[in-house]
Amino acid sequence: MLTALDKKLLEEVADLHDQPPGAYNIRKDGEGIERRSLEGIEIKTKKDQPGIDVIVAAGKEGSVHIPVILTETDLSDLVYNTIDIGEGADIKLVAGCGIHNPGSGNAQHDGVHKIIVRRGARLSYSEKHFGEGDGGGRRVLNPKTILMIEEEAYAELELVQVRGVDETERITKVEVKAGGRLVMFERLLTDGEQTANSDIAVKLMGEESTARIISRSVAQGNSSQSFTPRLMAYGAGRGHVECDSIIMDQAKVRSVPEIWAGNAEAELVHEAAIGKIAGEQLVKLMSLGLTEEEAEEAIISGFLK
C-alpha cells in the first residue's frame, strides 16, 4: 500500500498521480512493492543481482514506469536494470528516483541502467531525481546509463535533477550505430553545499549516425558542478554538444566539452557558456510586479525547461 509520502515522491519523479498506465515496477526502500507486466512488455526480477529485466517485444507500443523511492535514513540501495526494446517498437520509459531522508544518516540510491534500442525502434526515456527531508542526513543519487542505439533506431533522453539532491555522480555512455539518432537533454540545479558531476561519452559508430547533446544547469549557494560531455565519431556521423550554465552566489561550475573524430566525413560541433542572470531580465520582470526572488525563480525555471 502506497502512503501519502510515497505518492508525493512518485508525483515528483514520474508525474504519477495514480496507478501508472501501461507496465510498471515500483521499488521502495530496496524492494519491489508493485509490478504489472503486459502482453509484449515483460518485467521480471533478476536472478543474479538486485534489479529487473524489462523485455519489450518487436513492434510493441506502450509505456513502462520503473521509479524508485527511498523513505528511510541509513539506507544504501543498488540496482542493475536491463531494458531491451525490440525491433520497431515505440516505448515511453519513465525512471527516476525520489528520496525523503528523515534522519541524520545518508540515504543513497545507485542505479545502473543498460538499455538496448534495437533496429528501427524508438525510445523516449525520462529520468528525474528529487530529494527532500527534515533530517540532517545527505541525499545521494548516482545514476549510470549505458545505452546502445542500433541501426535506424532513435532514442531521446531527458535527464533531470531538481532541488534537494546533495551529491550526484552521473555517468552516461551511448553508442549509436549507422543511421541511429540520439537526442539528449540534461538539466541540473544545485544549491547550498551540493555537488553534481556529469560524465557523458557518446560514440557515433556508423554512417549517418547523429547525436545532439544539450545541457542546462543552474548553480546556487556554495554548490559546485562539473560537466564533461564527450562526442566521438568513429564513422561518418554528425553531432552537436551544447552546455549552458547560470552561476549565482559563490557557486562553481566547470564545463569541458570535447569532440573527437576518427573519420574524415564526420561533422562535430561543440559550444559552452557560463554566465549570470542578466540584469535587464530581472528589471523587466520586477517591473511587472515580481519581487527579485520571484523574478530569479521565473528566469531559472524558464532556463531549465
HSE-up of residue 140 (Cα within 13 Å, Cβ side): 17
**Cell output for 130:** 528529487
Backbone angles phi, psi at 150, to 5 degrees: -80, -175
C-beta separation of 224 from 255 below 8 A:
no
pLDDT for res 295: 85
pTM: 0.94
How far apart (Å, rounded) are the C-alpha atoms in residues 259 and 15?
A: 35
In tens digits, the chain (305 residues) has pLDDT values of 789 999 999 999 999 888 888 999 999 999 999 999 999 999 999 999 999 999 999 999 999 999 999 999 999 999 999 999 999 999 999 999 999 999 999 999 999 999 999 999 999 999 999 999 988 899 999 999 999 999 999 999 999 998 899 999 999 999 999 999 999 999 999 999 999 999 999 999 999 999 999 999 999 999 999 999 999 999 999 999 999 999 999 999 999 999 999 999 999 999 999 999 877 887 787 888 888 888 888 888 888 87
CA angle, 163 as apex, 162 and 169 as ends, to 5°? 70
Cell of residue 23, nine digits = 507496465
Return the closest-CA partner of residue 296 out of 218, 234, 231, 180: 218
Inter-residue contact 40 to 68 (CB < 8 Å): no
Instruction: State the distance between the two ends of the chain, measured CA to CA, in whole angstroms.
Output: 33
Residue that the C-alpha cell 540496482 belongs to:
79
